[in-house]
A = this chain, B = another copy of it.
Amino acid sequence: MDYFMEPTGVAIIGASQDFKTINGKILKYLLKHKYQGQIYPVNPKYREIEGLPCYPSVDAIPERVDLALIAVAAARVPGILRDCGAKKIKRAVIFSSGFSETGSEGKKIQEEIIKIAQEFEMRLIGPNCLGVLNVSTGLIASFSASMELDSIKEGPVALVSQSGAVGFLLFNLLQDAGVGVNYVITTGNEADVTVSEGLAYLVENPSTKVILTYLEGLRDGETFKRTIEKAAEAGKPIIALKVGNSASGQKAAATHTAALTGSGAAYKSYFDKMGIIQAKDSDDIIDLAQAFVPGKLPKGARLGIVTMSGGVGILLADRLEEVGLQVPQLSEALQEEVRKVIPAFGCAQNPVDVTAQSLNEGEEFKKCLKILLESDELDMLIVAITMATGKLAEKIGRDVAEAALETDKPLVVCWSVGQVAKPGFDVLKDAGIPLYHSPARAAKVMGVLYNYARFKDGWKTTVAEKINIPRQTKVQNALKESNKALSEHATKELLELYGLPVTKEYVAKSAEEAVAIAENMGYPVVMKIDSPDILHKTEAGGVAVNINSAQSVEATFNEVMKRALNYNPQAKINGILMQEQVPAGVEAIIGLQRDPVLGTQIMFGLGGIFVEVFKDVVLKPAPLSREDALEVLNQIKGGALLNGVRGGQPADKEALVEILLGVSQLAVEAGEDLLSLDINPVTVLAQGRGAKILDGVLVSSGLDNN
């Protein structure tokens, strides 16, 4: 990416002196924002443009060129790329539309340019993108009207977007909010460079402190995941605006786990685990970017409010409670301190009402902020300002900015009035103090800062157990051999390799064998048809429970066999599975679902109506740590059921944790060969008595193509 972001010279193919055209704008903005490298306009029509020598073709440029900017019609792009390749230009940004986004014709041209790039070892950004910015060097390689700004505020926020329009509107909103930006990368059709590579560059980049990204879908999951892991490791916040339903989720929606979790769930669970902050809106992502710029995170959840309106204080407190923060009562001693610097009719309790009057003059307001920021009773502060105009607004802004710059606690301003208070807004923006024009927005970012701080403190890479190679080989072979779902028995045999507590069970080929097994196992027993061709055993009449005698076993054997053949005369039948009958307990479901981009996710829910009616399930990316597994049990809404309610005994959570960890290890070892697993149900017995997997089905990725 360095050649893209730090080129020593750029060629503008088809450069124009008409600054209203796209090619003209690219040149215009490079000049306007004082690009520090060489600019080589290329256009046979001109000798020079704006005092720069203009070349008839790229090979006529005498110096080395790192980057070509191409915004000509799609059909001309392949020829130009070859010229660039011949000139040994190693990077090109292709703005042009008319490629794969327009249909099969464009797709062909896109494939052609990919081949050319490979041939010349050239990397491409785009096509169908809005270019890249490196603000510090004035590399404003874009024709977005956002570049009309007189000057660009430089700062620690970088932006990488799959959509050019969204990328640059976010850039514009950031600038409008006074947030400085260093890099913008828009990747468009991603014929070559992906959003993940852009992210990787920014995560490594030392001048980037906060990364924003707009994502529609990812193709290179491995790069993405490696990058995200690095960001988590470095504690560099990534704020994502992810749109569209997860295509992978839709693809695999045939399986139970995917159907229960719905589209987008894989992204959500992955983002949650990796501390990626999820924005829902353009407003939102800008709000969040502002909050992270000062680089201050709260040490706890205790928030102070300074306000001049009781009403705004209550509104803030309502919203803060929703995001899980506390607005604690202040100690008598602290209130005493506060009372000295606020008017008599103010309120020294949290929310602290300093009254509108105290703002007018003097040092009291600033002193009050300082007292609260220095107190060890509060971890962060919202200053809620109401009506103020002109000079007064400016003074308030200055007081707040000074207090904010002296503290390492997060301080944000909630100032819900219009442009009348602009002088105050400007002071805050210049000082880099996060400024929100409504209470809910200020409250929300504080909640996010707090959660991110907890994530950062608790972050550690989840390392899977060592891979057991012989076991892995067995599992992978079993999955590869089966071009579809494994039978219950075959599934359980694999689960058993991971020490999972499957039911005791044996396949009986004949009625006599069945009786012998039952006599040996003890009654009651469960009998199930065992056939790779009959997945829906109950539907086929292939399940019988509570079988209590040898006589009954014999009769059931014959009956179940008959029903199975009736159901599917072609079915290959292995026999009847003779299974121990497990006493009643809490029923749970544990599943696995492989997302082709983000990898395998583990699902947990309580069985029956809890997943079917209440959709009460949790997803978490594999591998799981022991803490992850425990968290999963507590995250479901019905988690209390495992603790025993209404006189019930607590269930054996430890046994569930062990199953989750085993399933996690299976996911790691099975890798891409595994599409999904449903363990449904597992019966969880009372604490200390374990759990039993009653049924399960593993599906190999072979099914993927169905």
Contact = CB atoms under 8 A, between A and B. Distances in A.
A216 B283 contact: no
A314 interface: yes
A178 to B, nearest CB: 10
Given A318-B244, A641-B613, A645-B613, A420 B162 contact: no
A98 B145 CA distance: 54
Nearest to A308: B165
Contacts of A281: 315, 319, 438-441
Interface string A584-621: 00000000000000000000000011001110100000
A638 interface: yes
B283 A641 contact: no
A93 to B, nearest CB: 18
A638 B616 CA distance: 11
Interface stretch (A169-177, A298-306, A670-678): A169-177
Q: For this complex, into which size category does the number of interface residues on chain A fall?
A: 35 or more
A148 B420 contact: yes
Interface in A607-639: 608-609, 612-614, 616, 637-638
Contacts of A386: 165-166, 168-169
Contacts of A172: 387, 417-418, 420
A550 B177 CA distance: 82
A102 interface: yes
A509 B216 CA distance: 75
B614 A637 contact: yes
Interface in A637-661: 637-638, 640-641, 645-646
A293 to B, nearest CB: 17
A608 B646 CA distance: 8
Given A145-B420, A244-B318, A417-B172, A283 B166 contact: no
A243 B389 contact: no
Contact of A646 (B245, B390, B609): B609
A318 B420 contact: no
Nearest to A418: B176
Contacts of A418: 172-173, 175-177
Contacts of A641: 609, 613
Nearest to A612: B645
A248 interface: no
Contacts of A390: 148
A266 to B, nearest CB: 16
A673 to B, nearest CB: 33
A498 B493 CA distance: 61
A214 interface: yes
A451 interface: no
B314 A243 contact: yes
Residue with the highest number of chain B CB atoms closer than 10 Å, among A173, A243, A616: A243
A441 B283 contact: yes
Interface string A415-448: 0111110000000000000000111110000000
Contacts of A640: 612-613
Contacts of A214: 311
27 contacts: A97-B345, A145-B389, A146-B417, A162-B311, A163-B309, A163-B312, A165-B308, A165-B309, A165-B310, A165-B312, A166-B315, A166-B386, A168-B386, A168-B387, A169-B312, A169-B387, A243-B314, A244-B318, A281-B315, A281-B438, A282-B438, A282-B440, A609-B638, A609-B646, A612-B645, A613-B638, A614-B637
In the complex, the 3 A-B pairs of residues with the closest C-beta atoms, listed nearest first = A176-B418, A163-B311, A165-B309
Given A148-B389, A169-B416, 11 more contacts: A146-B420, A163-B310, A165-B312, A172-B420, A173-B418, A176-B417, A216-B314, A282-B416, A284-B438, A609-B646, A614-B616
